[in-house]
């Protein structure tokens, strides 16, 4: 009995696996043999084995598999191209004929394809693809890349962004999540600028997940998040994410909260209980968060004011003194309607 991989396109002689390879190269731009092997291998493979392949780990037997020979055939037919970088195994990118084959079958996601990647961006591009493939193939999430959400130039670069905070990945879920793969630490001011932009564009229940690689990267991100009150920021070490096959929980900046890439946020069991304000007290407006309610209650000023050991004469005589107008409890500002997602929709038709 013939399988789907043996069903050929009569015009181009392409199998379903070939189209999957071409679609992956269009979506991610550049992939290695290990990543394509993890993508096209049998579904009953161990999750740990597939995760290592998504991070482009290859062994000598991998080059003897049928996929390596098939990639060579697709290269010779002009559907894909091989790219060579210093101290790296060869990588693969989509060619014009390969994109035309996708477009002819209505399988193309983008109006064009990426033709090159610089040496400086290569490590980051492969890491982003590894995280995205893990989220899609192992966690069953809907993930959209930066290239799917923003106009890229034909040579693989991008024009100046009209707005900031375009994340490496965007996860369409009940809790929308922007994913940032952070291989190097940015400056304090740069993080503030990025998070201020996220406050304006992130949905009300959205989160920003950081995957870091440098030592103490998680604590660094969370320290800045607490400093700038960016409570939507969560962080996890990329090596832990890899070893946990994508199931490792991200640490939050507040109250020991954690968040899974494919789940909802839950407070840490060992975290101290949060102080709950009485229902009658108005909540403070956090202007920096785009008009959202602050998490801490706003308590009205006390009617009794002490300065050292002295008490105002009016209170000593039993008279109450109303608080000054400048210290009166402010009236809550009108809340704006929830801001749209950074994508302008709930995920779109792209998977």
Residue 239 CA to residue 51 CA, distance in Å, equals 11
* C-beta separation of 327 from 317 below 8 A: no
Distance of CA 292 to the CA centre of its chain: 22
Architecture of the CATH domain 8-117: Orthogonal Bundle (1.10)
Residue 94 CA to residue 252 CA, distance in Å, equals 38
pLDDT band of residue 59 (cuts 50, 70, 90) is confident
pLDDT at 165: 63
Task: Report, as an integer, the average pLDDT of 332-336.
Answer: 35
Q: Do you know the residue count of the chain? A: 351
Residue 181 CA to residue 127 CA, distance in Å, equals 7
296: phi then psi, degrees, rounded to nearest 5: -95, 140
Tokens of 236: 């996890």
Q: What is the DSSP letter of 278?
A: P
pLDDT at 9: 46
Burial of 61 (0-12, 13-18, 19+ CB in 10 A): exposed
pLDDT band of residue 241 (cuts 50, 70, 90) is very high
Lowest mean pLDDT segment, chosen from 110-124, 233-247, 292-306: 292-306
Task: Report, as an integer, the average pLDDT of 291-315.
Answer: 39
pLDDT at 89: 87
208's enclosing H/E stretch is strand 207-212
Per-residue pLDDT at 240 exceeds 90: yes
Q: Say which residue, 316 or 205, is predicted with more confidence.
A: 205
Task: Report, as an integer, the average pLDDT of 123-141.
Answer: 96
Residue 189 CA to residue 294 CA, distance in Å, equals 23
Q: Say which residue, 351 or 141, is predicted with more confidence.
A: 141
Average pLDDT, the chain: 76
Residue 326 CA to residue 314 CA, distance in Å, equals 20
Per-residue pLDDT at 294 exceeds 70: no
pLDDT at 149: 81
Per-residue pLDDT at 146 exceeds 80: yes
The set of residues, in sequence order, having a beta carbon less than 8 Å from that of 24 and lying 6+ positions away, is 31, 35, 36, 39
pLDDT at 266: 54
Residue written as token pair 């482009």: 56
* C-beta separation of 216 from 251 below 8 A: no
Per-residue pLDDT at 272 exceeds 50: no
Per-residue pLDDT at 109 exceeds 70: yes
16-50 confidence digits (pLDDT tens): 999 999 999 999 999 999 999 999 987 678 899 99
Residue 215 CA to residue 230 CA, distance in Å, equals 22
pLDDT at 349: 35
CA distances from 237 to 126, 128, 259 (A): 16, 14, 13
pLDDT band of residue 166 (cuts 50, 70, 90) is confident
User: Any idea where the domains of the chain sit in the sequence?
Assistant: 8-117, 161-269+282-296
Q: What is the DSSP letter of 176?
A: -
Residue in 154, 114, 162 with CA at minimum distance from that of residue 344? 162
Reduced to 3 states (helix: H, G, I; strand: E, B; else coil), residue 280 is coil
């Amino acid at each position: 009995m013939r399988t789907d991989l043996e069903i050929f396109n009569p015009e181009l002689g392409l199998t379903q696996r070939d189209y999957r390879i071409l679609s992956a190269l269009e979506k991610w731009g550049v992939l290695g043999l290990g990543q394509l092997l993890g993508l096209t291998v049998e579904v009953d493979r161990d999750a740990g084995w597939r995760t290592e392949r998504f991070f482009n780990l290859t062994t000598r037997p991998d080059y003897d598999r049928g996929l390596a020979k098939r990639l060579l055939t697709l290269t010779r037919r002009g559907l894909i191209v091989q790219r060579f970088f210093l101290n790296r195994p060869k990588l693969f990118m989509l060619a014009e004929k390969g994109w035309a084959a996708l477009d002819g079958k209505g399988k193309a996601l983008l109006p064009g394809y990426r033709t090159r990647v610089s040496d400086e961006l290569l490590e980051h591009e492969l890491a982003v693809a590894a995280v995205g493939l893990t989220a899609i193939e192992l966690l069953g999430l809907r993930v959209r890349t930066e290239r799917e959400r923003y106009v890229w130039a034909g040579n693989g670069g991008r024009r100046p962004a009209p707005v900031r905070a375009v994340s490496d990945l965007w996860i369409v879920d009940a809790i929308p999540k922007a994913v940032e793969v952070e291989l190097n630490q940015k400056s304090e001011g740069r993080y503030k600028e990025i998070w201020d932009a996220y406050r304006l564009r992130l949905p009300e229940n959205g989160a920003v997940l950081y995957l870091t690689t440098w030592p103490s990267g998680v604590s660094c991100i969370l320290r800045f998040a607490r400093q700038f009150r960016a409570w939507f920021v969560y962080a996890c070490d990329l090596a832990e994410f890899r070893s946990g096959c994508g199931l490792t929980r991200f640490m939050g900046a507040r109250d020991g909260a954690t968040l899974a890439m494919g789940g909802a946020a839950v407070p840490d069991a060992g975290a101290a209980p949060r102080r709950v304000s009485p229902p009658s007290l108005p909540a403070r407006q956090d202007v920096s968060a785009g008009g959202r309610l602050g998490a801490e209650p706003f308590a009205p000023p006390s009617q009794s004011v002490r300065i050292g050991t002295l008490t105002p004469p009016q209170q000593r005589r039993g008279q109450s003194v109303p608080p000054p107008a400048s210290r009166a409890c402010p009236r809550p500002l009108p809340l704006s309607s929830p801001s749209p997602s950074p994508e302008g929709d709930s995920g779109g038709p792209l998977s």
